Amino acid sequence: MQALEFWSLGFTPLPISAITGTGTGELLDMVCSELKKFEGLEGLDDVEEDENRVPAISIVGRPNVGKSSILNALVGEDRTIVSPVSGTTRDAIDTELTTVDGQKYKLIDTAGIRRRAAVASAGSTTETLSVKRAFSAIRRSDVVALVIEAMACVSEQDYKIAERIEKEGKACVIVVNKWDTIPNKNNESTTHYEQDVREKLRVLDWAPIVYCSAINGNSVEKIISAASLVEKERSRRLGTSILNQVVREAVAFKAPPRTRGGKKEAVFITQHR
């Protein structure tokens, strides 16, 4: 095709000659000015994980589900004396936990909330206040361990917390505590139980479920291994080419709707840090 034909089609070509070099300077200028738009994005595919970053895990749930007991089983009773993390808030106490393989986590405890909430309660119920405090802990976390009580299963408050976790884009582990209180468990009843939890917590259908008994420490450590897995998954960087391929395929499958401003088109996608 000749340059003129492009013009006739409504395009504005940049005529160059590789042999004589005509127009190549202009071409380079244009490429550089386009690249400037993505300044700061270069090399994002190879962003190194910040090894000093300590992921924060919050333990949230309704009063009495066993949040304190879980924390005690994980880090011991003297946690606030042994390893207080600076910058703790009045709403939640942060504790540092180091796993056997040396990975550090910051645990955000919301367990003390109940007692303060009971005192502060004026017009609001303790449960409502505890949900509000759970929201602020969720905001500060990378991973949320949403604790529900085995016998009570999922309540309205649990659902509100679950919705918030999903909305804030946090990683999550659903923890069914007091598993010891469910009598005559077998594979079939456990599958039924899980289906019930999945049905009631649809917004978190991607979150792993851990069954534990904080009272005797049974399976409590699984909360941390599951949290570690979901945290890695959440902080995983997707290569720009994969992202663009996925978006191209999605758009080919279903084009974005036309708006008043015309058709929207994705030009270039990259995952920001």
Q: Which is nearer to ligand GDP, 55 or 66 (CB)?
A: 66
Nearest approach, Cβ of 212 to ligand GDP (angstroms)?
7
Q: Which is nearer to ligand GDP, 45 or 221 (CB)?
A: 221
Q: Which is nearer to ligand GDP, 185 or 232 (CB)?
A: 185
Rounded (5°) CA angle 73-154-149: 25
Residue in 45, 109, 47, 4 with CA at minimum distance from that of residue 242: 45
Here the tokens at position 107 are 């645990």
Nearest approach, Cβ of 63 to ligand GDP (angstroms)?
5
Nearest approach, Cβ of 92 to ligand GDP (angstroms)?
12
Rounded (5°) CA angle 197-160-84: 95
SS3 content of the chain, % helix, strand, coil (to 5): 45, 15, 40
Tell me if residue 256 falls in helix, strand or coil.
coil
List residues near ligand GDP by CB under 6 A: 61, 63-69, 111, 114, 177-178, 180-181, 213-215
Nearest approach, Cβ of 179 to ligand GDP (angstroms)?
7
Cα–Cα distance, 57 to 228 (Å, whole number) = 9
Q: Which is nearer to ligand GDP, 197 or 260 (CB)?
A: 197
